[in-house]
Structure 1
Amino acid sequence: MTDGEAASGPAAFAALGSTVRAALSERGFDTPTAPQRVAIPPLADGENALVVAPTGSGKTETAMLPVFDALADEDRFGIGALYITPLRALNRDMRERLDWWADTLDLDVDVRHGDTTDYQRQQQANDPPDVLVTTPETLQAMLTGKKLRRALEDVNHVVVDEVHELATSKRGAQLTIGLERLRELSGPFQRVGLSATVGDPDEVGRFLTGNRGCEIVEVDEGTAFDVDVRCPIVTDEDERLASELVTQADVASHVRVIDELVTDHESTLVFVNTRQTAEALGSRLKKLGTDIGIHHGSLAKETRIEVETQFKSGELDGLLCTSSMELGIDVGHVDHVVQYNSPRQVCRLLQRVGRAGHRRDAVSSGTIVTSHPDDVMESLVITRQAHAGEVERADIHYGSLDTVANQIAGLVMDFGEIGAMKAYDIVTRAYPFEDLSKSAFKQVIRELAGNRVVWLEEDEDRLEKRQGTWQYFYQNLSMIPDEATYDVEDVASGKQVGTLDERFVVNFAAPGEIFIQRGEMWRITNIDEEEEIVTVSPIEDPAGEVPSWTGQEIPVPSQVAQEVGELRGVAGDQLRDVPKAAVSRDVQHRYDAETATIESGLGPLADHADTDAPIPTDDRILVEFSGRAIVVNVCFGHKVNETLGRLLSALLGQQSGSSVGMDVDPYRIELDVPRGITAGDVVRILRETDPDHVEHIIELSLKNADALKFKLAQVAAKFGALKRWRGTGQARFGRSRLLDALEDTPVYDEAVREILHEELAVEETAALLERIQSGTLAIETVGDHTPLGTSGRGSGTELLTPENADASVIQTVKDRIQNDRVILFCLHCQDWQTRREVGRVRDQPKCPQCGSTQIAALNPWDDETVAAVKTGEKDDQEEKATERAYRTASLVQSHGKRAVVALAARGVGPQNAARIINKLREDEDDFYRDILSREREYARTRSFWE
């Protein structure tokens, strides 16, 4: 701290009253923290403010000391301040942290959320606390209670914790209108937001305050931030360890390095990007003997609290966790953070590593353990951007119509009846809805009225409560999609282990299946669909299926992928003339890492530089092709590449009349195209497609996608169009019928908007086409696959690899498939069909009626395909189903029962079955390993397939 900063310390505390200053002295707070020095004076003056600072830097006290000071001498009946946090776990922490101040200052602090008892709720209504800590959803419920509305009239301060997290979600959009509803009760109040580092704090400030002016208080964390990027080198010990851990040597090296980092530090958080990785990596670390717990949102609440407590007390050396631990859950002092694989985003790295080293003047230290060349390059770029403060902008949900529908019902609950234009005025005071048109608002009202959620008096422009309003509102307090989950219970102890998504249970789970949860192996003993309970028993290693939770990989933003492309361009040109070690040393001047790690990241680039192929960079696209596989090397990040990939697959599919397979990462789009499609067709589309048509083409392509149909069901529930959506019931209704029923409604418009917002980047993709067509973005082709084109993450290895699955796992796969049923259908006579267990299928299936071997092998529920084949005049869907049936029959005719086995696997269609069958192998176990690998790939990518 400089002399000037030290001198400003007393001035900050001097802005507070004598009672609070005395409490500060008693607590031992002689010198304010960096955020307190800057933020307390304007907050004490009652100004709105956004405080942007690292987790653990005293933001809570920064916000609450001026609030406590204002409340200390007030005489009021109701609640003086609300402290809103996005997680219930944060409620617990806030209560513990604020209790001392409240007791010392003779103030009451209480907590209210979904688990608060009826007795406690009654007490809070009759004798309101001075400060109430709550969640966004509970605020929604509080606004409708008669006694609580009286208590809320006295609110003068609202503090929103982790506002950066809320700003990018519909929960946050809902909260902004909820705060305007609160303002109708209490009048204007001070708004304080606490945020991790964001790229556009002014925009988040507008989000918080309804664009009413906001003091931005930023504390730079780049200078107290030390991150090492490491790519482990495989040792002889790792080769031995791989067998023990049932994995490959490179993965064993990752597990070993993480174990060493946990051992070398006092208390380490190990962040991973998905719950699947948390379970798989956790199981390998536990197998190695690492003293580590596992923490993520699908574990039982008691399990999460238990590991938090164990880590905080020092019983565990490490805690392996996902994004929920980015938020300020109190787990005690953390002295190091490990990030496994690239953190994908600058803000993620800052939030995660920012959890470490928060004693005064301590440096936040972390290590990114990379597993792939893309990971290395990406991590180097993200670390540099983090130091430079180049953080992504908050991706706010502007104008989400299901949020509007939800809050219209809330306003009717608040007032009993309200004028439609009065409701419109309240909604559009919230920043994300400033530009909502009156016509869109009226469409939402009419949809709600049609769904019997509210009563609309068109002539009088008045909204009223009706019988269904109460039920709708309380079933939809949260904007988190309502999706069924199954409790996982240990049959021996009767305790809950965690939860599984319904989609996983329906598609992959069955008695006898093995999966990982809490880092341990479990075998399913029973599935109770009525009670939504999966009963399991613990087993010993080795690995089985990894649970496929909702939630996709964190998308890599364009700004990161573009700099990776820039780095490729600079280093790639050098590698054509200079040894890799020398180039690594040069890269080291800008990107701080060991040269060995940089060299590992440059590996595929060096190989590429040895060819004559152009290098794909931030301003050059390279289209490569070989056979039916086309790779578009384009460094624009997940969302742009996903949009561009959908555009290409839609237009190529239209041109060929056949479906086009697609896989995407931040640096390449892989297309599996029908015969006759070439790289020239891809280049033509990129050069000739009107950028203004991108959104229309993408929306048309979404109509056949499972992603839209699934999203449509979730949004329909938020509009009251489906009274209580559960996946199984909705599946019986039929997603295609749902789409037909809701097209041309605000429900459909919102489902499309949400997918475009969360998964795609239409405007950026249109701009990319404009650059190609203006010549500022080069596009070149090469008639072979290149080292960069084939080095995507998809070619990496799993933590639990089918290649190393032992005999018991392979036998489990064999047994399951042999017991599965298939439809055998003769395409020659079209009279014979039977459902039969795979194990009972003859080596060469033959029709018993006509003797033909042209036998289609279909899923046991696929009667629609049989009907489609028999139909005379076929529509497009029936034509596709018929073509697929003939392709399976061709495989069965050529390969017999082996083809039936491959086709019976989950998510393995004719194309993938052909690849599995035609691969040369030494033994039958490898055949089943390939099936298992393909099933796992399908489980991970299922939501993307159309």
Structure 2
Amino acid sequence: MEGVELRRLSNLLQEELIKGLERLGYKTLNYIQVKSLEASRHYQNILIVAPTGAGKTEAAILPVLRDLINEGGEPIFAIYISPLRALNRDIYDRMIELFQMFGFEAEIRHGDTPQKTRKKIAEKPPHFLITTPETAQFLLVDKRYREKLRNIRWVIVDEVHELLDDKRGAQLSLALERLRLIAPNLKIIGLSATLKDPYTALRLLSGRRGGTVIEWQERKIYEISIEELGNEANLEERVEKVASYCRDGGVIVFTNTRDTAELIGRILTHEYGLNVRVHHGSLSRAEREEAERLFKEGRIDAIIATSSLELGVDIGYARLVVQFGSPKQAIKLVQRVGRAGHSLLEKSRGVIVPLFLEDAVESAVLARRSVNGDLEEQAPHEKPLDVLAHQIAGLVLEYREISLEKLYDVVTRSLPFENLSLKELIDLLEFMRSIGIIRFSNGNITMGRRTISYYYSSASMIPESFSFDVVEMASRRIIGSLDYSFASLIGKGKIIILGGKAWNVEEVDIEANKVYVTENIHEFGEPPIWTGMTLPVDRKVAREVASLYRRIAENMSSSGELEKLRRMYGLPEEAFKKTVELVGKTLEALGTVPSEKNTLVELVRNRDKTLVLVHSYLGTKGNNLLAFLLADAYRGYTGSSAKYFSDPYRVLLVSESYVPPGKLREILVEGLKWKLRFLSDVIRESNSYLIEFTHVASKMGIIDIKKSRPEPGVLSNIRRKLVGTPVDAEAIRATIFEHFDLRSVEEFLQDIERGKRPIIIKELNDLTPLAQLIFEKPTVKAGVVASDIPASGIIQAIIKRIENSHVLLYCINCGQWWQTIKVADYHLFSKCPRCGSRALAVLRPYEEEKIKILEKWRRKENLSADEKKFVEKARQSASLVLSYGYPAVFVLAGHGVGPTTAKNILSKGVSMEALARNVLQAEANYTRTRKYWEE
């Protein structure tokens, strides 16, 4: 789409503004910039939707500057609200010269602004004020700003897509209604990346009023490919692929978590000699800004980032985006890949490096949906009561008294609250009155004893977070800490990684803010995550993955049709071949394939365990809720607890109690229906509810977790007392909105009852290959292994894990050589390069410092009892390696497996499956008895 020359826009821009733009290097304006200038003359509310690099900032600023020049407006003429502080500085740097050219001032005001600068801005406000949603809350009630706010003609809201399904968006929507009471002729321009439903986003900003949406007319061209899988167990192979793309520079590598970004950044720097920088929200602003500057100047090869670079920070030209692992959401993939390419007319290229087989399938589905513009829907919070309570306090602070009728009218103009009933508002007001935030009588609301302190302490809707201590049960020592919100994702049976070790979660004590753990038998586990870092897979994506599996099964006999499917989804040949084989084996085992058109359940009795796996395809949040409800129903029917696990495609229950297919069918229908009927009671038992309750209680002025953690037992008493209150109601609503997908589960049950998804229960000796894909997800895989279920998929996982473990080899014969190696690389080091001996002791890498003990032994010096024990251990392990070779190294790499145990294992057989099973059992025994051993 060609731009329009500035000289041809004299009907939309003043001559002086045209000349000013020309001095800054502008020659043309593009489609959305011209349309914005036109629409701003006729509409009060405008939403501009376009990909990254479309010039949305100029499209919003130019109408403001044009009106400012025309009217000679008084400060504060416009406010620019961005949800990210880093964007505030970026906008300021890009626009300050344009404003100053015409004698106007621009300033930034947010939480990090020094007090001296705040005072200066309050005393002499600028024409153009850049701020955040939270700081806007303080400006509305600040007497120093009150008169200046009456001058406001424009509000620009950036990154609307980030606010749409967030409580910050609901808060801003009500804040804009409050601002309109002060400045009735307010005009609003919203800026957003591509959205599924832009008109909902417009209504978030405009309330009941009209407006228009300006969308980029030409479809942005994306080219997204999926890398071949290769060796699924080899992380280094995947990072090497990333490195190959980074060598030519100009690459942004996106990861889904901050710890992954740090890991990849470290490997690329130290192992591949690349000059890269890491960029995420837990780094200081100075670190992030330096990374942005170095990338923009072309002085680094790549920048490794999380969602911190999805937003519109200007980092210059990127030729390619590499996504490490599935992006989980099409809308995220579009935003990330859209950062590649210098302009909208240039093709944006992206590469996804999948981490395992279903990761590749999921990535292919997401890439196809991204290119076709089939994005996830984003819905605003509906009636968030903690947001409403804070805004009520703000209105009371502003006007000192407001009638119930007026309050209800103002509040229900906002999209998130348009369906709020008068009774719901009155109930909330009565509750706020009972805790001293307001006074409410005779239909009028006035200030209470806590109005001021409550409003200022609860202005941010970003969840407060503090950490749990992680305590080892055996020694009672604190080994580290976890983010508070992480507690909603863990429970007994989960595995976490901390300090380089895997830990089995034995108990999560929400009241005492402690997680009790024991060291786990393997290296699988879930690394701690920072707040807000999990990305759910949408149910429509899960259904399309199910559909793809079904279509593969339906075309197994036609190589031509299968090739069409492969090309349609852009799956690399080897990954697609593995997928076809997996579907074929599942089809052979079941006679059908799990899909979006059935409810296929696998029932497996394995020694003293029962496995129930439901192929449900409800997405992350839907399956989170389904797993939770089914586990509760299973317990109700059997009297025995069931561990539950889920991924976006299936749900797994593990119990010691077996139920026959008929009873299982009853649990799936009647049990699920019963639990949905009493959903609130069930949800109150979840960790997710406990977390949301804490946040809501904080935002509604019940507790102050910014100052200190709640004392043990305090939260329990508070929760019991507040059941049935607005705090409890909002905690339940927020739990469902943030963690669960109630609609998916309700529709799932309806489809079963109507026969649209008939239940098919198959009793098997082992889970099918498609079911075993649940073990690819670290959180689920860890929980199942911890339950001592040696399914074939787990055995293969154990083999891969040990093969990728490291050991220290030491030549007992000459004592002149030692080397830390990966177990799988033993064939490269099967004999000493110095003397040729195969008598190699197998030690732990951390035991390298103990080599000096072996040197003392070789010099025939006196040894202590412990030193003699270590020498004997080394000699025995070398003897085993001499006799068995690789199998001995494999077994000795097991956690807690010494020479005596290894000898016993090796005597039972040396097939890889037998070794893995026996190592697993030995590791389990070691873990159970470890606390009695002297370290």
Q: TM-score range by the shorter chain?
A: 0.7 to 0.9
Relative distance call for 1:770 and 1:263 in structure 2 (3 A) is same
Give the aligned residue type for 1:599.
K
| Residue 392 of structure 2 is aligned to residue 388 of structure 1 | no
Please point out which of 603, 609, 621 is paired with 1:639: 621
Please point out which of 466, 469, 477 is paired with 1:484: 466
Relative distance call for 1:554 and 1:601 in structure 2 (3 A) is farther
Shift of 1:601: 4.1
- Looking at structure 1, the residues matched to 414 and 579 of structure 2 have their Cα atoms a distance apart, in angstroms, of 46
Shift of 1:570: 0.8
| Residue 262 of structure 2 is aligned to residue 279 of structure 1 | yes
Aligned to 2:207: 210
| Residue 61 of structure 2 is aligned to residue 34 of structure 1 | no
- Looking at structure 2, the residues matched to 769 and 141 of structure 1 have their Cα atoms a distance apart, in angstroms, of 47
Relative distance call for 1:811 and 1:504 in structure 2 (3 A) is farther
Aligned to 2:701: 720
Aligned to 1:269: 252
Relative distance call for 1:220 and 1:343 in structure 2 (3 A) is farther
TM-score, reference length from structure 2: 0.77
Give the aligned residue type for 1:417.
E
Give the aligned residue type for 1:229.
I
- Looking at structure 2, the residues matched to 275 and 370 of structure 1 have their Cα atoms a distance apart, in angstroms, of 17
Aligned to 1:229: 226
Please point out which of 127, 137, 141 is paired with 1:140: 137
Relative distance call for 1:558 and 1:221 in structure 2 (3 A) is farther
Shift of 1:18: 1.9
Shift of 1:10: 6.6
- Looking at structure 2, the residues matched to 176 and 553 of structure 1 have their Cα atoms a distance apart, in angstroms, of 25
Aligned to 1:568: 549
Moved more, 561-570 or 216-225: 216-225
Paired residues of 1:384 and 1:591 also in contact (CA < 8 A): yes
Moved more, 287-296 or 93-102: 287-296
Give the aligned residue type for 1:715.
V
- Looking at structure 2, the residues matched to 425 and 718 of structure 1 have their Cα atoms a distance apart, in angstroms, of 23
Paired residues of 1:428 and 1:434 also in contact (CA < 8 A): yes
Aligned to 2:335: 351
Paired residues of 2:646 and 2:652 also in contact (CA < 8 A): yes
Moved more, 921-930 or 299-308: 921-930
Give the aligned residue type for 2:726.
P
- Looking at structure 2, the residues matched to 277 and 813 of structure 1 have their Cα atoms a distance apart, in angstroms, of 24
Aligned to 2:856: none
Give the aligned residue type for 1:440.
E
Kindly provide the CA deviation profile for residues 569-616 of structure 1, in whole angstroms up to 9, marking residues without a partner as x. 1111222x246xx55522134223433343344442233234343201
Aligned to 1:885: none
Relative distance call for 1:316 and 1:598 in structure 2 (3 A) is same
Please point out which of 109, 113, 119 is paired with 1:122: 119
**Any idea what SS the aligned residue of 1:227 has?**
strand
Aligned to 1:361: 345
Relative distance call for 1:583 and 1:556 in structure 2 (3 A) is same
Aligned to 2:903: none
Aligned to 1:677: 659
Shift of 1:516: 8.1
| Residue 408 of structure 2 is aligned to residue 411 of structure 1 | no
Paired residues of 2:36 and 2:63 also in contact (CA < 8 A): no
Paired residues of 1:710 and 1:735 also in contact (CA < 8 A): no
- Looking at structure 2, the residues matched to 505 and 658 of structure 1 have their Cα atoms a distance apart, in angstroms, of 24
- Looking at structure 2, the residues matched to 172 and 352 of structure 1 have their Cα atoms a distance apart, in angstroms, of 22
Give the aligned residue type for 1:285.
L
1:369-518 → structure 2 map (5 Å cutoff)? 369-456=353-440, 458=441, 460-484=442-466, 501=483, 515=499
Identical positions, percent: 32
- Looking at structure 2, the residues matched to 199 and 756 of structure 1 have their Cα atoms a distance apart, in angstroms, of 22
Relative distance call for 1:928 and 1:365 in structure 2 (3 A) is farther
- Looking at structure 2, the residues matched to 12 and 606 of structure 1 have their Cα atoms a distance apart, in angstroms, of 63
Please point out which of 93, 96, 103 is paired with 1:96: 93
**Any idea what SS the aligned residue of 1:650 has?**
helix
- Looking at structure 1, the residues matched to 154 and 405 of structure 2 have their Cα atoms a distance apart, in angstroms, of 28
Paired residues of 1:12 and 1:40 also in contact (CA < 8 A): no
Give the aligned residue type for 2:176.
L
| Residue 553 of structure 2 is aligned to residue 553 of structure 1 | no
Relative distance call for 1:931 and 1:68 in structure 2 (3 A) is farther
Kindly provide the CA deviation profile for residues 446-497 of structure 1, in whole angstroms up to 9, marking residues without a partner as x. 22222222233x1x3222223422221111110112223699xxxxxxxxxx
Paired residues of 2:51 and 2:344 also in contact (CA < 8 A): no
Relative distance call for 1:195 and 1:34 in structure 2 (3 A) is same
Please point out which of 587, 590, 594 is paired with 2:568: 590
- Looking at structure 2, the residues matched to 650 and 505 of structure 1 have their Cα atoms a distance apart, in angstroms, of 19
- Looking at structure 2, the residues matched to 73 and 432 of structure 1 have their Cα atoms a distance apart, in angstroms, of 36
- Looking at structure 2, the residues matched to 701 and 322 of structure 1 have their Cα atoms a distance apart, in angstroms, of 34
Aligned to 1:700: 681
The number of equivalent residue pairs is: 772
Aligned to 1:763: 743
Shift of 1:676: 2.8
- Looking at structure 2, the residues matched to 925 and 767 of structure 1 have their Cα atoms a distance apart, in angstroms, of 43
Aligned to 2:74: 77
- Looking at structure 1, the residues matched to 16 and 801 of structure 2 have their Cα atoms a distance apart, in angstroms, of 62
Give the aligned residue type for 1:563.
E
- Looking at structure 2, the residues matched to 369 and 353 of structure 1 have their Cα atoms a distance apart, in angstroms, of 13
Paired residues of 1:12 and 1:38 also in contact (CA < 8 A): no
Give the aligned residue type for 1:392.
E
Q: Tell me which structure has the larger Cα radius of gyration.
A: 2
- Looking at structure 2, the residues matched to 144 and 632 of structure 1 have their Cα atoms a distance apart, in angstroms, of 53
- Looking at structure 2, the residues matched to 403 and 188 of structure 1 have their Cα atoms a distance apart, in angstroms, of 25
**Any idea what SS the aligned residue of 1:732 has?**
coil
Moved more, 555-564 or 267-276: 267-276
Unaligned runs of 5+ in 1: 235-247, 488-497, 518-531, 533-541, 815-838, 840-896, 899-916, 933-946
Paired residues of 2:633 and 2:671 also in contact (CA < 8 A): no
Paired residues of 1:199 and 1:393 also in contact (CA < 8 A): yes
Paired residues of 1:15 and 1:40 also in contact (CA < 8 A): yes
Moved more, 593-602 or 82-91: 593-602
Relative distance call for 1:344 and 1:654 in structure 2 (3 A) is same
Aligned to 1:241: none
Paired residues of 2:629 and 2:672 also in contact (CA < 8 A): no
**Any idea what SS the aligned residue of 2:678 has?**
helix
**Any idea what SS the aligned residue of 1:23 has?**
helix
Relative distance call for 1:28 and 1:300 in structure 2 (3 A) is closer
Paired residues of 1:158 and 1:189 also in contact (CA < 8 A): yes
Paired residues of 1:222 and 1:387 also in contact (CA < 8 A): no
| Residue 598 of structure 2 is aligned to residue 620 of structure 1 | yes
Kindly provide the CA deviation profile for residues 233-263 of structure 1, in whole angstroms up to 9, marking residues without a partner as x. 24xxxxxxxxxxxxx8532211110111111
- Looking at structure 2, the residues matched to 679 and 285 of structure 1 have their Cα atoms a distance apart, in angstroms, of 52
Shift of 1:75: 3.4
Please point out which of 49, 70, 82 is paired with 2:46: 49
Aligned to 1:312: 296
Relative distance call for 1:358 and 1:698 in structure 2 (3 A) is farther
TM-score, reference length from structure 1: 0.76
- Looking at structure 1, the residues matched to 356 and 141 of structure 2 have their Cα atoms a distance apart, in angstroms, of 52
- Looking at structure 1, the residues matched to 564 and 172 of structure 2 have their Cα atoms a distance apart, in angstroms, of 49
- Looking at structure 2, the residues matched to 552 and 286 of structure 1 have their Cα atoms a distance apart, in angstroms, of 24
- Looking at structure 2, the residues matched to 811 and 928 of structure 1 have their Cα atoms a distance apart, in angstroms, of 16
Kindly provide the CA deviation profile for residues 890-946 of structure 1, in whole angstroms up to 9, marking residues without a partner as x. xxxxxxx99xxxxxxxxxxxxxxxxxx9952189679779999xxxxxxxxxxxxxx
Paired residues of 1:210 and 1:430 also in contact (CA < 8 A): yes
Moved more, 474-483 or 131-140: 474-483
| Residue 584 of structure 2 is aligned to residue 606 of structure 1 | yes
Give the aligned residue type for 2:596.
D
- Looking at structure 1, the residues matched to 927 and 254 of structure 2 have their Cα atoms a distance apart, in angstroms, of 29
Unaligned runs of 5+ in 2: 470-479, 492-496, 502-512, 514-522, 783-796, 809-819, 821-842, 848-865, 867-895, 898-914, 931-935
Moved more, 105-114 or 225-234: 225-234
Please point out which of 181, 185, 191 is paired with 1:184: 181
- Looking at structure 2, the residues matched to 131 and 484 of structure 1 have their Cα atoms a distance apart, in angstroms, of 36
- Looking at structure 2, the residues matched to 516 and 71 of structure 1 have their Cα atoms a distance apart, in angstroms, of 58
Paired residues of 1:229 and 1:369 also in contact (CA < 8 A): yes
Give the aligned residue type for 2:319.
D
Shift of 1:215: 0.8
Paired residues of 2:360 and 2:571 also in contact (CA < 8 A): no
